[in-house]
Amino acid sequence: MQAEDEKTEGRSQLIDQGSKLFVTACHESGIDVSNAWPASDEELKRSAYSDRYDEETDWL
């Protein structure tokens, strides 16, 4: 049980660090964070696919 709690805590810390890095990168680049943050998981998937394959993903 303790190992599982430690994993959960570690994941939470990684998510927090990632969020802070994202916000810092946006500020340093002059990007408005509220416009850059994906609104949903679906939007995040579409954006990742589009970036990777350089295609529009309206069909996704």
Intra-chain end-to-end CA distance of the chain, in Å: 39
**Quick check: 20 and 13 in contact, CB under 8 A?**
no
pLDDT classification of 56: cutoffs 50, 70, 90: low
Q: How many residues does the chain have?
A: 60
Give the torsion sign (CA, 44, 50, 53, 56).
positive
The encoded tokens of residue 15 equal 């998510």
Nearest-angstrom CA–CA distance, 60 and 17: 30
40 Cα distance to chain centroid: 10
Domain ranges of the chain: 2-53
pLDDT confidence of 58, banded at 50, 70, 90?
A: low
